[in-house]
Amino acid sequence: MCEPSHATHPAPSSAANHLTVLLHFTELEANPDDAEEDSDVDELEEENIFQSIHGGKVLKELIEPYQERVEKLRKFLLDVNPAIQYDLVTLEDPYGPAITDPNLNCIVVSDETQKGGEAVNRKRQENALQELAIHKICLVKDAHRTADEEEKISSSTLRKRLLGSLLVPPKNNPKIPPAPYVIGLTGSTGSGKTAVAQILQKMGVTIIAADQVGHETYKPGNAAYQRILQEFGQDILRKDGTIDRSALGKIIFGDDEKLKCLTDIVWPETATLVKQRITEAGAEGKPVCVVDAALLLEAGWIDMVHEVWVVIVPEEEALERIMMRDNISEEDAKKRLASQWTNVQRVQHANVVLCTLWEPQVTEKQVQKAWQLLQKRRPLC
């Protein structure tokens, strides 16, 4: 992927025993066995390595916890050369000790980080420190890459491969029968959850749209209807006696106490109706059904399902989709997202994660993969 180069300065001799490695943390973590073959770390025979750790990742919600990554890096370094002494440094700024430590002699970079190495030397000059020798290494090619993946071994690629896979085995839920097997599909507004539900529906999966079911609780004759009127008054009624949900929305907007009052009425009633739909699906012999619910986790409905599938996109993408879809300002779109759980919160409860950031066919492949894997693990009742 690159021509080996000792750009700017040659690699240090054996007398020089301090260097810094400038690279993305998970480039080594992605596949330690393969990375070891091409890292050049042991060839430099250094005694002290500063490893820079920083973020800015694709699918950052799927990055392993910090301490787990540190331990994997520690194991990698010991596998390369047990005699190496090293410090793992968490960066509080883009440069870390590379621009302040006078004992460092060399910085190891790749094509991707060479400009960073040059920037380090400029900072060292400003700090009246000797420039570091810049030693460039090649990145290992990914022998298993597909046409739409990066050529190098990449932690971002590995995280994309996790999409549609079972990340966490589902817990046994004695509160619900084994059949039909219930998937809870959730995601924030703008996540593409509806697109995933449509793909599943085309595949013949029974979809229970909890958001639509929830609308039924506002209809005259339902238990929630009278309670809503008692709490919010007659002014929210249309002439035909139905609840004007937009008028109700203006009352609760920005008022957490009133919003909670409404959800305390509507969510339990919605849950009852959704459970009825699940029971009906089972009576019809449906082996699997999907509860499509934006507020599945916020409402505490996790006990109604066997697995949770979470759909995510970066916040910036969600904002653009919301503004375009609903013709609203960025400020209003941000308020909508802020009122819901974040991707990180949702992923913490996910068994399967899907992402609709790329082309529709990429999303469809993820869904098909998730569905095929589900058939292998769900109980056959």
In the prediction, which pLDDT does 256 show?
87
Cα–Cα distances in angstroms (integers) from residue 196 to residues 48, 89, 311, in the given order: 49, 41, 8
CB 290 within 8 A of CB 200: yes
Asked if residue 355 lies in contact with residue 163, where contact means CB atoms within 8 angstroms, the answer is: yes
Residue 167's CB is within 10 A of a number of other CB atoms, namely: 14
298 near 175, Cβ under 8 Å? no
Residue 24 has pLDDT above 70, yes or no: no
- Under the banding of pLDDT at 50, 70 and 90, the label for residue 2 is low
| 110 contacts: CB under 8 Å, gap ≥ 6 | 2, 23, 27, 136, 137, 138, 139
Say how far apart CA 273 and CA 281 lie, in whole Å: 13
At 66-120, the pLDDT tens digits run 888 888 888 988 898 888 777 788 777 888 889 999 999 999 999 888 999 999 9
- Mean pLDDT value across the chain: 85
Who has greater pLDDT, 351 or 67?
A: 351
- In the predicted structure, residue 204 carries a pLDDT above the cut 90: yes
> Hey, what long-range contacts does 368-376 have (CB within 8 A, 24 or more apart)?
368/164, 368/203, 369/163, 369/164, 369/165, 370/164, 370/165, 370/309, 371/200, 371/203, 371/205, 373/164, 373/165, 373/166, 374/181, 374/183, 374/288, 374/307
DSSP string of 336-375?
HHHTS--HHHHHTT-SEEEE-SS-HHHHHHHHHHHHHHHH
What's the pLDDT tens digit per position in 112-160?
Answer: 889 999 999 999 999 999 999 999 998 888 888 887 788 888 888 889 9
Q: What is the CA radius of gyration of the chain?
A: 27
pTM of this prediction?
Answer: 0.80
**pLDDT higher for 210 or 65?**
210
* Tokens 């002014």 sit on residue: 235
**Rounded Cα gap, residues 91 and 58, in angstroms:** 19
Distance from C-alpha of 74 to C-alpha of 76, rounded to nearest angstrom = 5
Rounded CA gap, 94 and 310, in Å? 32
Order of all β-strands in the sheet with 48-53: 85-90, 48-53, 18-21, 106-109, 133-136
Spatial CB neighbours of 272, under 8 Å, sequence gap ≥ 6: none
Distance CA 284, CA 291 (A): 16
- Alpha-carbon gap, residue 381 to 28, rounded angstroms: 44
Residue 56 in this model has a pLDDT that exceeds 60: no
> Which tokens go with 295?
């507020």
User: Which tokens hold the place of 36?
Assistant: 């070891």
